[in-house]
Homo-oligomer: A and B are copies of this chain.
Amino acid sequence: MTRIDPHPDIGPLTFLIGTWRGRGRGVYPTIDSFAYTEEVVIEPLPKPVLRYGQRTAHADTGEPLHAEAGFFRLPDGVPELVIAQPTGIVECHAGVLEGQRLVLQSTVVGLTPSAAGHRVTDVERTIEVVDDVLRYSLAMAAVGQDLQVHLVAELTRV
């Protein structure tokens, strides 16, 4: 695909652009905690949006775990994120941008009929880039549990 220069209106989010690889840890009261490896790709499109994709695998076994696909937006300087997940979940987020730190709260969490049992009602995503390190945390309210940290990861630009 042709390399695209980011649209000027997405400028404040261009610190996210890159291919990022690293490790994370997942915890939740209803599951065994687990370590994972992750690759995130964030790239500009011709319009003022960034395309987002990620894949994770179990850190010990290499077994594929999760994937996400979506887009970052910045209408009127307010960061937004839309995500689809192969587990049957979609999310809309809006939040605040402070330098290279993005704090996003879900405004919509949707589940396909077969995924209704996940009962995800609320997701918060924090993403911060310092130098060439991207750290994120994801808090989730699901399966009747209160909103709490589910994922924390640290990735390096490759």
In the complex the two chains form, what is the Cα distance from A78 to B114 in whole Å? 9
Residues in chain B near residue A53, CB distance under 8 A:
69
Residues of A in contact, count (CB < 8 Å): 38
What is the distance, in angstroms, from A16's C-beta to the closest C-beta of chain B? 14
Known: A94-B113, A112-B107. A67 touches B86 (CB 8 A): no
Known: A69-B70, A73-B86, A88-B82. A108 touches B107 (CB 8 A): no
Is A94 within 8 A of B112, CB to CB?
yes
Q: Describe A's contact surface by its main secondary structure.
A: strand
Known: A70-B69, A113-B107. A83 touches B86 (CB 8 A): no
Is B88 within 8 A of A73, CB to CB?
yes
Name the interface residues of A87-129: CB closer than 8 Å to any CB of B.
88-94, 107-115
Please tell me if A85 contacts chain B, counting CB pairs below 8 Å: yes
Residues in chain B near residue A71, CB distance under 8 A:
67, 69, 84-86
Please tell me if A80 contacts chain B, counting CB pairs below 8 Å: yes
What is the distance, in angstroms, from A116's C-beta to the closest C-beta of chain B? 9
Please tell me if A45 contacts chain B, counting CB pairs below 8 Å: yes
Residues in chain B near residue A110, CB distance under 8 A:
82, 90-92, 107-110
Counting from the closest, the 7 A-B pairs by CB-CB distance are A108-B110, A69-B69, A90-B90, A75-B114, A71-B86, A46-B64, A49-B86
A-side residues, CB < 8 A to B, are 45-47, 49, 51, 53, 55, 64, 67, 69-71, 73, 75-76, 78, 80, 82-86, 88-94, 107-115
